Structure 1
Amino acid sequence: MSSPLLRLQRNLDASIRAKQQLMQESATLAVFDAAVAATIAAYRNGRRIYIAGNGGSAADAQHLAAEFVSKLARDRAPLPAEALTTDSSILTAIGNDYGYEQVFSRQLAGKAVAGDIFLGITTSGRSPNILRALEQCRAMGVPSILFTGRDGGPARPLADHAIVVPGEATSTIQELHIVLAHTLCESVEAALFGE
């Protein structure tokens, strides 16, 4: 059994290597840049962002929504954002009546309008409820962003902007997702409220 220090060193090394690899992936960085531009355009047009994920990615969705509504790095007006992971009555009603794979798509059908933005977060790209949400976005004309890992799974071709990050472990992929989320919010803040 490895010691906690060896485990930490191994995890730090994996995180650093994945981040360095992402910095070299110009195609992925270009997709991220386009996703940021789409989000800025949505906000400039009076729209909002909806965010969803499962497990740790659900927590990331809530984390990012809070930063849009409150702030990330500077005092500014709130930006409308909602994590689709937080209302237990809605989640359990949809899950019970329609199935768990519909918990995000049905919320989008009831809340989103064309021109809003949806951000789905799934480390595997295989979460059925994220797949259904991306399909719902296509049907409604809601641009979609995907933060995922590994090969992007079946979610990749369903998203308008699929950002597939490197990393073998789920934890490493999630660490990159939070860097992307912070950078997305910071970029939106700078574009809408100045540097």
Structure 2
Amino acid sequence: MNLIDRVSRQFEDNMRTALEALEMLAAPIAGAVELITASLLENGKVLVCGAAGSAGDARRFAAQLVNGFELERPSLAAMALSADASTLAPIAGEPDTSTLFARQIEVFGHPGDVLVAIAANGEPMRILDAIGAAHERDMRVIALTGADAGRIAARLGPADIHLAAPADRSARIQELHLLILHCLCDGIDCLLLGVED
């Protein structure tokens, strides 16, 4: 086995997938930037949840909104629903953890807020329930998924945004999700600060 060739294939696969995603997702990502920015300007907030390994992406995205991305700016109202251990512990001890995020949305979500739901693998019930809870609170939803996310897509309303990475491999989906989240951070900063380039 030639490890250099194998590494090269990983890079090439990543680039191919990213270029395919660019054609499909540039306009919806721009729409997501505008949606989040409008909510923040109206004193709304961004609630972020991620299933399994995507929980780390959710925490990172919320932290970048609160603490800043690449430009100096005031903190933005964002909260990762998978970050508060004292809130999650009682729920996680229950046999049915599908309400893990929905309960927090019921408490912290308000009309005009935005839910960013991230699911790189499968369609976990907790993400589906989170989307339902967000809709009950008159929140809009931005869902980041892989290519195979029919039940999540079916839960989204006409005002929601679905950013489906055109990939089946978990590694490619997760890489694209991180790129999408960085695009969101950059776009929000540029709109809020009036940056042109």
Report the equivalent of 1:115: 112
CA contact (8 A) 2:148 2:168 kept: no
Bigger proportion of residues as helix: 1
Q: Report how far residue 94 of structure 1 moved.
A: 1.7
What TM-score does the superposition give when structure 2 sets the normalisation length? 0.92
Runs (4+) of structure 1 exceeding 4 A deviation are: none
Q: Secondary structure at the match of 1:150?
A: coil
For residues 21-170 of structure 1, what are the structure 2 equivalents within 5 Å? Answer: 21-25=20-24, 28-97=25-94, 99-159=96-156, 160-170=160-170
Q: Report how far residue 114 of structure 1 moved.
A: 0.7
One-letter amino acid matched to 2:182: H
Q: Secondary structure at the match of 1:77?
A: coil
Q: Secondary structure at the match of 2:93?
A: helix
CA distance in 2, matches of 1:107, 1:19: 33
Q: Percent identity?
A: 27
Q: Report how far residue 3 of structure 1 moved.
A: 4.1
CA contact (8 A) 2:30 2:187 kept: no
Corresponding pairs, count: 192
CA contact (8 A) 1:52 1:104 kept: yes
CA distance in 2, matches of 1:79, 1:29: 23
CA RMSD across the alignment: 1.5
CA distance in 2, matches of 1:137, 1:146: 12
Check if 1:191 corresponds to 2:191.
yes
CA contact (8 A) 1:109 1:136 kept: yes
One-letter amino acid matched to 2:130: A
Question: What stretches of structure 2 of length at least 5 have no aligned partner?
Answer: none
Report the equivalent of 1:15: 14
What TM-score does the superposition give when structure 1 sets the normalisation length? 0.92
